[in-house]
């Protein structure tokens, strides 16, 4: 006897100009199954789930849900059928409260007071505590995700789609989430779980479909398959793991002490007494869940945010009062997280974008008059050295893929020979081979004696390349620990902030009871 | 279903073609408007766009007028375009224009009847300074208190208009004017006159200044860091901060330049074509210049051409008023329409229009 | 001095109503994340269309209806260009104002110097005869009460209704709203039309009641002041009412001071409403956190759904 699949996908194809996002994709999910959709950045996972959720229409192919033809023209129809989705980039409204946010995701929400009561009930039942009256803008990334999950759960979905849910969670929070998901699965809710983290998938999922470049390249039962096998299917070739010859740390060259900065935006995170000592040749990894002050820290180090004189020093020279270009002149360079709009101007050419940070150190102007020939030559140098795939430096930044633009942005700083380089999320949303190139270039730079601070939410990345590790939590930086020998549990506690280490453990236990 | 698809990068061809397309569409829509007014649309369009330049009967009067009317529009629009590129919206140029005229005229009249070659240059400097000072009000309020510069600069136009009224009937009133409002006629005072430099050309000091400003703006935007920073701040404010652009300095700079240029336009106008400070001395150049700036794609050369075209609609409009009794307000509506069409077709520079079938699913 | 507080307050309400109507409409537009700087243009087109229809039909009521329709129609141009053709809100709003001023002058060529049919006051027998309170509260025309009713309605809608929640959500983050399946563009177009209709009504109140006559450019910045009042109100309906009445009070007072021949130059008095508006804007915007928290986060940003 065969059970009817809950969701059956048959030959879905979706093409965008210049790229086929999904090519004849087929798979099926049974009721109550935790099914993983595995693939690296750009494999077409997001497009696929958007089609299931009714945000994107397929070019061809068909779907059926509980045995009936299923072609949601809009998310409303998907929700009505019993499909709910937790987004990777949250679909939340910061200036509205939790209950209002939940109501917006429901078809026929009850009155606010009744809704608030239900939110409390459901959040307790699933071990996800949440206060319905708080503004979402004041919540942490993990709490925001709870809002999304509860919004879904209140509709009793038959299929819950989760797009990279753990990227914003500490390891302990991940445990709590998995506990919730297993409970849901036991109650009969199927889960489509999208991720590129193999160990997570092995511990959580019943079945996995692996996508590469828009095509299904394999199916497996994660529990019975090794991470290495899955990785090979996902990436298609084995990648060189970034490495460096040796890691002798030199003198302390860059020092931050007692750095406190008020946030520039109403929902920003204030920095509190941040202290850093960076040695020549050191890669210092700063981990932390999104929204714990990463942007603010980069802005304070780059000089975009005002910092107190004396709070930042380079080679014992006070630079705290200096602006971005003055710090650049001294050798402090940065690559922010947001590529389009912060690190680069989307509509400007790569040549113009090269000028953005390289003017001072590369002497690209004379008395304010720009030497375009030299600027173009520098941009071409970056493109060539860092293997940036683009027809030429006259192309607009936004025409490049994420990985290529990131290579350009990091390369632009590396090629200016920084004394100190600060990068935030250097490989976020970047395909595996570009990510490996970028990490290697960071290590090479450290090898030459530069001090490097890598701010990242990707713990695997930090464990791979950093000598020392510190965690950012609510704008406070933990003590620095040597990376080798750190366990995931320790890291998790550091990320959660030492003060509530105890609570978190208890919460996890409580949820497990 | 028609859908828009973002181009990987802006289309240069469409950036150049959209203003032309907008003008053509405006001619069509304007023609319909004239037809609705009971006029022959083809004749009306011909009178507005063709006759001032090429009809022997009018050209000798109209051609010089082209430069006379274009100069203030270009001067003001160049200043505005810098701010618009940087995302700083000075829409109160009309007020800065008035204040520049008043400041310059006051400076000159204070010396009346002294005769010196220094008086006119002094008036020009005072005019630019007056406009600059008026623009500094929204600049300082924005940088100090984050007050919206759009509303402040615009509201200050009304204040400037009231001030103009009080100047025309009060402190600048011609003591020999038998009590009529209005100042002495500056264009008839040797030391305060902005004369036609080449007879029959319409060329006066304002026109010369406008040409110089176009060239300077071009150089600044394409070759100088200041222009780069202006563009960067408008396109990606966060990237601009990252590049070390100081937003406060940029606001003061952009509002200051546009205010000073509007003030210069005011003093050249009041000492030349207008002749005197009167209650209704301003004719809306400060607002029309907004259209000129956009029609010229915020590009100095584009603004030069757009200024000439807009001047043509003024002259042609007057002609149409004379010949076909088309009301002056129709020309104003016509100019507004032009901006609408321009903004509408501008979508083509950044997006492709695609025909898309409904999803098959 | 010859200024009677009761008639001053009654005059204040009349002077405030056009701006109040325009401001409450724009408030909804901005709550939906759209910055329409064409209020002045929509007001003046409302003023002439209302005036023309009222004169031609002899009915002020029909005039007001036509004004609302005229304002809404004009706002549709703005809606189309900003929502479907993705143009910059600021530039398009300016275009709307410039075009509206020209169009209204054109439409109004033959209407100068005519008197419109009167808009009757709803004199409620008994109530309007009460001394002091009667003339202040109970002796106005229907539009005054309508404007207050709109404020109350907008307040309740934004605070309690699902539609209000959706409008606020769209103004806060159009991408998130789109991801949840809300029709961002449709909601914004409807909000823009509501704003246009309100501005049109406000304009007609000027030409049919306050002045009452048609003159070119008669709005004289009222639309811009309405925009300033939305900022003053921190996007809160009842505060828009307060702001409009405050402004109306200053206008009414300065006109009376002019008439009373007080020893302040007429031009200074005439400038005062604009100067005080600027002053109020400065005070409101100087409180950094409050200004940033209340402004809709997506205000003035262009929305284009990808995929």
pLDDT reported for residue A512: 40
Mean pLDDT of B84-89: 93
- What is the distance in angstroms between the Cα of B199 and the nearest Cα belonging to chain C? 34
What are the two backbone dihedrals, phi and then psi, of residue A452, each rounded to the nearest 5 degrees? -130, 130
Count interface pairs B-C at CB distance under 8 A: 142
Judged by CB atoms closer than 8 Å, whether chains meet at A104 and C177 is answered as yes
> Is the predicted pLDDT of residue A264 greater than 90, yes or no?
no
**Bridge partners (DSSP) listed for residue A60:** A13
pLDDT mean across residues, chain B: 90
Nearest-Cα distance to chain A for C130, in Å, is 42
Query: Where does the pLDDT of residue C26 fall: very low under 50, low under 70, confident under 90, or very high at 90 and above?
Result: very high
Of residues B359, B266, B350, the one with CA closest to residue B11: B350
| Interatomic CA distance for residues A119 and A151, integer angstroms | 8
The reported pLDDT for the residue numbered A163 is: 85
Query: pLDDT band at residue B60, thresholds of 50, 70 and 90?
Result: confident
CA distance B331 to chain C (A): 8
| B59 pLDDT tier (thresholds 50, 70, 90) | confident
Q: What is the pLDDT of residue A510?
A: 46
Within 8 A of A356 by CB-CB distance, chain B residues are: 232, 239, 242-243
What is the tens place of the pLDDT at every residue in A442-452? 999 999 999 99
What is the model's pLDDT at position A403? Answer: 84
- Specify the range with the lowest mean pLDDT, choosing from A250-264, A485-499, C5-19: A485-499
What pLDDT is attached to residue A395? 92
pLDDT of residue A237: 66
Q: Are C184 and C296 in contact (CB under 8 A)?
A: no
Residue A501: pLDDT band with limits 50, 70, 90: very low
CB < 8 Å to B290, chain C: 94, 98
Which chain B residue is nearest to residue C226, measuring alpha carbons?
Answer: B151
Q: Give the per-residue pLDDT at A245.
A: 62
Please choose, from the candidates B105, B78, B121, B107, the residue with its C-alpha nearest in 3D space to the C-alpha of residue B259: B78
| B359/A71 CB distance under 8 A | yes
Band of residue B96 on the pLDDT scale cut at 50, 70, 90: very high
Q: Which of C86, C290, C97, C70 is closest to C198 using CA atoms?
A: C70
Residue-level pLDDT at A232: 80
Comparing CB atoms, the residue among A56, A74, A100 nearest residue C165 is: A100
Bridge partners for B2 per DSSP:
B355
pLDDT of residue A506: 42
Instruction: Give the lowest-confidence range in A209-213, A236-240, A293-297, A404-408.
Output: A236-240
Is the overall model pTM greater than 0.95, yes or no?
A: no
Local structure of residue A136 (DSSP, 8 states): G
Q: Does C157 contact B at CB distance below 8 Å?
A: no
For A348, the closest of B235, B241, B244 (CB atoms) is B235
Structure tokens at B51: 């006759």
CA distance B84 to A103: 40
Instruction: Give the pLDDT band of residue A247 (cuts 50, 70, 90).
Output: low
Mean pLDDT of A45-63: 90
pLDDT digits (tens, 9 = 90+) for C101-137: 999 999 998 898 888 888 877 777 777 777 777 777 7
Residue closest to A201 by CA, chosen among A165, A170, A172: A165
Distance (Å, whole) CA B255 – CA B131: 10
Among chain A residues, CA nearest to B354: A17
For A178-194, the pLDDT digits (tens) are: 999 999 999 999 999 98
Confidence of residue C54 (pLDDT cuts 50, 70, 90): very high
Report pLDDT for B360. 36
Q: Are A298 and A422 in contact (CB under 8 A)?
A: yes
Residue A2 pLDDT grade (very low, low, confident, very high; cuts 50, 70, 90): low
Alpha carbon distance A86, A80 (integer Å)? 16
Token look-up 């780069």 returns B228
pLDDT of amino acid A511: 44
Flag whether residue C217 sits within 8 Å of chain B, measured between CB atoms.
no
> In chain C, what is the straight-line distance between the N-terminal and C-terminal CA atoms, in Å?
69
Omega of the bond leading into B113 within 30 degrees of 0 (cis)? yes
- Report in angstroms the alpha-carbon separations of A55 from A194, B258, C277: 17, 45, 45
Across A381-385, C37-41, C52-56, C294-298, least confident range: C294-298
Q: Best residue in C80, C98, C110, C276 to probe B by mutation, most B CBs within 10 Å?
A: C98
The Cα B356–Cα A321 span in angstroms is: 55
pLDDT at A197: 80
Backbone angles phi, psi at C21, to 5 degrees: -60, -50
Contact, B193 vs B112, CB < 8 A?
no
pLDDT at position A265: 78
Q: How far is A60 from chain B (nearest CA, A)?
A: 6
Taking residues A232-251, report their average pLDDT: 73
**Tokens 């309605």, residue?**
C153
- At C290, the pLDDT band (50, 70, 90 cuts) reads low
The pLDDT score that the predictor gives to residue A484 is 86
Q: Which residues of B259-269 are buried (b: 16+ CB within 10 A; e: fewer)?
A: bbbbbbbbbbb
Q: What is the band of A319 on the pLDDT scale with cuts at 50, 70, 90?
A: very high
Would you state the pLDDT for residue C255?
Answer: 83
Tokens of A304: 């975009």
List chains touching A (3+ CB pairs under 8 A).
B, C
Q: Are C63 and C57 in contact (CB under 8 A)?
A: yes
Q: How far is A76 from chain C (nearest CA, A)?
A: 6
Q: Nearest-CA distance from A322 to chain B in Å?
A: 10
Residues in chain B with CB shorter than 8 Å from the CB of C300 are none
Query: C21 pLDDT band (50/70/90 cuts)?
Result: very high
Q: Which residues, in sequence order, are bridge partners of residue A61?
A: none
Lowest mean pLDDT among A317-331, B167-181, C149-163, C208-222: B167-181
pLDDT at residue B139 in the model: 97
For the cut 90, the answer to whether the pLDDT of residue C188 exceeds it is: yes
Question: What value does the mean pLDDT take over residues C32-55?
Answer: 96
What confidence score (pLDDT) does residue B244 get?
A: 94
Structure tokens at A134: 């708080």
Mean pLDDT confidence for A321-330: 95
CB A122 within 8 A of CB A83: no
Burial class of B135 by CB neighbour count within 10 A (0 to 12, 13 to 18, 19+): buried
Residues 234-273 of B with CB under 8 A from C: none
Token digits of residue C149: 């009713």
What is the predicted pLDDT for the residue at C3? 67
d(CA B356, nearest CA chain C) in Å: 12
Cα gap C41→C94, rounded to integer Å: 9
How is residue B283 annotated by DSSP?
-
Q: Residue B361: which pLDDT band, with cuts at 50, 70 and 90? A: very low
Q: How far is CA A74 from CA A52, A156, A294, C2, C180, in A?
A: 10, 19, 35, 66, 9
What is the torsion angle, in degrees rounded to the nearest 10, for the CA atoms of residue B347, residue B351, residue B352 and residue B358? Answer: -100
Nearest to A159 by CA among A32, A22, A13, A11: A32
Within 8 A of C281 by CB-CB distance, chain B residues are 141, 147-148, 151-152
What is the rounded average pLDDT for all residues in chain A?
88
Residue C304 pLDDT exceeds 90: no
CB contact under 8 A, B238 and A338: yes
pLDDT computed for residue C181 by the predictor: 85
pLDDT-derived band at B130, boundaries 50, 70, 90: very high
Q: Which of B150, B159, B329 sits opposite C105 (nearest CB)?
A: B329
Amino acid C2: pLDDT: 57
pLDDT score recorded for residue A238: 62
B260-289 pLDDT, tens digit per residue, is 999 999 999 999 888 888 888 888 899 999
Q: Please answer whether residues B333 and B286 qualify as being in contact, where contact means their C-beta atoms are separated by less than 8 angstroms.
A: no
Flag whether residue B159 sits within 8 Å of chain C, measured between CB atoms.
yes
Report pLDDT for C242: 93
């Amino acid at each position: 006897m065969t059970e009817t699949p809950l969701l059956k996908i048959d030959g879905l194809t979706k093409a965008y100009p210049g790229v086929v996002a999904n090519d004849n994709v087929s798979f099926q999910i049974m009721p109550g199954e935790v099914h993983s959709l595995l693939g690296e950045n750009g494999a077409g996972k997001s497009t696929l789930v958007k089609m299931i959720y009714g945000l994107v229409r397929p070019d061809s192919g068909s779907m059926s849900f509980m045995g009936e033809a299923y072609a949601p023209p809009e998310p409303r129809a998907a929700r009505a059928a019993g499909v709910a989705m937790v987004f990777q980039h949250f679909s939340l409204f910061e200036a509205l409260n939790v209950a209002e946010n939940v109501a917006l995701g429901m078809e026929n929400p009850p009155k606010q007071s009744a809704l608030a009561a239900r939110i409390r009930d459901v959040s307790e039942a699933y071990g996800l505590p949440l206060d319905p009256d708080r503004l979402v803008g004041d919540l942490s990334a993990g709490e925001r995700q709870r809002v999304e999950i509860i919004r879904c759960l209140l509709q009793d979905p038959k299929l819950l789609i989760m797009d990279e849910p753990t990227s914003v969670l500490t390891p302990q929070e991940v445990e709590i989430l998995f506990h919730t998901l297993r409970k849901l699965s036991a109650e009969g809710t199927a889960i489509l779980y999208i991720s590129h983290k193999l160990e997570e998938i092995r511990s959580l999922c019943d079945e996995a479909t692996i996508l590469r470049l828009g095509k299904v390249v394999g199916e497996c039962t994660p529990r019975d398959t090794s991470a290495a096998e899955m990785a090979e299917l996902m990436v298609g070739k084995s990648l060189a793991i970034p490495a460096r010859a040796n890691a002798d740390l030199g003198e302390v060259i860059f020092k931050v002490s007692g750095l406190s900065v008020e946030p520039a935006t109403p929902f920003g995170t204030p920095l509190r007494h941040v202290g850093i000592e960076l040695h020549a040749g050191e890669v210092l990894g700063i981990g932390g869940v999104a929204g714990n002050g990463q942007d603010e820290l980069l802005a304070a180090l780059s000089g975009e945010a005002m910092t107190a004189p004396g709070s930042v020093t380079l080679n014992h020279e006070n630079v705290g009062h200096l602006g971005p270009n003055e710090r650049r002149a001294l050798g402090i360079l940065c690559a922010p997280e947001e590529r389009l709009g912060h690190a680069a101007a989307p509509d400007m050419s790569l040549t113009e974008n090269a000028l953005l940070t390289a003017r001072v150190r590369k002497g690209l102007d004379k008395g304010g008059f720009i030497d375009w020939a030299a600027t173009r030559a520098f941009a071409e140098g970056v493109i060539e050295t860092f293997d940036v795939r683009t027809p030429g430096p006259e192309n607009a930044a936004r025409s490049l893929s994420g990985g290529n633009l990131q290579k350009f942005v990091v390369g632009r700083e590396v090629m200016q020979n920084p004394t100190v380089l600060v990068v935030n999320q250097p490989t976020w949303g970047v395909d595996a081979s570009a990510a490996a190139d970028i990490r290697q270039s960071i290590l090479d730079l450290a090898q030459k004696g530069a001090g490097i601070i890598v701010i990242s939410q990707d713990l695997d990345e930090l464990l791979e390349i950093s000598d020392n590790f510190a965690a950012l939590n609510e704008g406070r930086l933990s003590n620095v620990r040597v990376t080798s020998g750190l366990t995931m549990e320790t890291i998790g506690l550091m990320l959660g902030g030492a003060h509530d280490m105890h609570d978190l453990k208890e919460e996890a236990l409580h949820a497990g009871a | 279903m028609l859908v828009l698809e973002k181009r990987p990068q802006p289309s240069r061809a469409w950036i150049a073609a959209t203003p032309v397309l907008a003008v053509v569409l405006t001619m069509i829509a304007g023609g319909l408007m004239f037809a609705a007014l009971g006029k022959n649309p083809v004749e009306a369009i011909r009178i507005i766009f063709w006759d001032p330049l090429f009809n022997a009967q009018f050209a000798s009067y109209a051609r010089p007028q082209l430069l006379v009317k274009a100069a203030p529009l270009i001067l003001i629009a160049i200043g505005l375009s810098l701010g618009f590129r940087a995302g700083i919206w000075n829409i109160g140029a009309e007020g800065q224009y008035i204040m520049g005229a008043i400041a310059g005229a006051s400076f000159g009249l204070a010396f009346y009847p002294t005769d010196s070659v220094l008086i006119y240059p002094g008036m020009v400097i005072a005019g630019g300074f007056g406009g600059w000072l008026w623009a500094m009000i929204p600049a300082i309020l924005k940088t100090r208190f984050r007050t919206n510069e759009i509303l402040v600069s615009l509201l200050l136009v009304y204040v400037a208009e009231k001030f103009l009224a009080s100047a025309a009937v009060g402190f600048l009133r011609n003591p020999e004017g038998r009590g009529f409002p209005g100042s002495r006629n500056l264009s008839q005072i040797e030391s305060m006159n902005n004369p036609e430099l080449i007879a029959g050309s319409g060329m006066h000091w304002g026109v010369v200044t406008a040409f110089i400003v176009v060239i300077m703006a071009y150089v600044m935007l394409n070759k100088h860091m200041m222009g780069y920073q202006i563009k960067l701040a408008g396109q990606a404010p966060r990237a601009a901060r990252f590049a070390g652009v100081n937003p406060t300095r940029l606001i003061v700079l952009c509002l200051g330049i546009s205010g000073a240029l509007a003030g210069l336009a005011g003093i050249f106008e009041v000492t030349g074509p207008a002749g005197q400070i009167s209650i209704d001395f301003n004719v809306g150049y400060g607002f029309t210049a907004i259209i000129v700036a956009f029609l010229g794609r915020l590009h100095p050369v584009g603004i030069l051409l757009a200024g000439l075209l807009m001047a043509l609609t003024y002259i042609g409009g007057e002609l149409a008023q004379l010949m076909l009794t088309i009301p002056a307000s129709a020309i104003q509506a016509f100019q507004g329409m032009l901006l609408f069409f321009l903004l509408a077709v501008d979508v083509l520079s950044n997006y492709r229009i695609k025909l898309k079938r409904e999803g098959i699913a | 001095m010859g200024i009677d507080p009761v008639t001053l307050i009654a005059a204040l309400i009349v002077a405030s109503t056009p701006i109040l109507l325009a401001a409450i409409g724009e408030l909804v537009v901005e709550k939906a994340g759209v910055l329409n700087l064409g209020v002045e243009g929509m007001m003046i087109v409302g003023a002439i269309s209302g005036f023309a229809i009222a004169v031609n039909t002899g009915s002020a009521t029909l005039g007001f209806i036509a004004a609302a329709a005229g304002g809404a129609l004009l706002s549709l141009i703005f809606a189309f260009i900003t929502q479907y053709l993705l143009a910059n809100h600021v530039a398009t709003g300016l275009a709307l104002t410039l075009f509206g001023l020209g169009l209204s002058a054109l439409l109004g060529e033959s209407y100068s110097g005519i008197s419109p049919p009167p808009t009757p006051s709803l004199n409620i027998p008994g109530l309007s005869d009460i001394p002091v309170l009667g003339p202040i509260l109970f002796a106005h025309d229907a539009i005054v009460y309508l404007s207050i009713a709109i404020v109350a309605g907008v307040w309740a809608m934004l605070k309690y209704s699902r539609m209000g929640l959706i409008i606020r959500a769209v103004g806060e983050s159009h991408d998130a709203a789109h991801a949840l399946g809300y029709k961002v563009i449709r909601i914004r177009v409807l909000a823009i039309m509501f704003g246009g209709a309100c501005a049109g009504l406000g304009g007609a109140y000027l030409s049919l009641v306050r002045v009452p006559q048609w003159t070119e450019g008669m709005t004289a910045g009222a639309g811009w002041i309405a925009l300033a009042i939305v900022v003053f109100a921190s996007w809160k309906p009842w505060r828009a009412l307060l702001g409009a009445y405050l402004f109306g009070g200053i206008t009414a007072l300065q006109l009376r001071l002019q008439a009373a021949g007080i020893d302040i130059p007429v031009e200074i008095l005439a400038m005062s409403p604009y100067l005080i508006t600027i002053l109020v804007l400065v005070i409101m915007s100087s409180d950094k956190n409050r200004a940033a928290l209340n402004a809709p986060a997506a205000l003035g940003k262009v929305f284009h759904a990808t995929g």
